[in-house]
């Protein structure tokens, strides 16, 4: 059987932690930052966990993670 392919977009966006949970970066932090307040931009820093309802879908896109 051929190997399963990982979705290229998913491997760029998600990382699997050692505990098995999946981390993702925050949205709304790429452009049009001049009209966003400093508080908003500060709160968008860092990584976030993938919501429980989306974990199965993300894991199917990362078969070897």
pLDDT digits (tens, 9 = 90+) for 7-17: 999 999 999 99
Mean of pLDDT values over 1-6: 93
3-state helix, strand, coil in the chain (%, to 5): 35, 15, 50
Q: Could you tell me the pTM of the whole model?
A: 0.82
- pLDDT score of 65: 86
Domain extent listing, the chain: 8-61
Contacts of 41 (CB under 8 A, 6+ apart): 29, 33
Please report, to the nearest 10 degrees, the dihedral formed by the alpha carbons of residues 56, 58, 61, 64 taken in order. -80
Q: In this predicted structure, what is the pLDDT of residue 53?
A: 97
Residue 36 structure tokens: 């966003």
CATH number of 8-61: 4.10.410.60
């Amino acid at each position: 059987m051929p190997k399963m392919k990982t979705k290229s977009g998913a491997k760029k966006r998600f990382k699997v932690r050692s505990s098995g949970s999946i981390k993702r970066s925050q949205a709304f932090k790429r452009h049009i930052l001049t009209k966003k307040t400093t508080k908003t931009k500060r709160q968008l820093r860092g990584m976030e966990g993938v919501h429980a309802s989306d974990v199965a879908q993300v894991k199917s896109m990362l078969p070897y993670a």
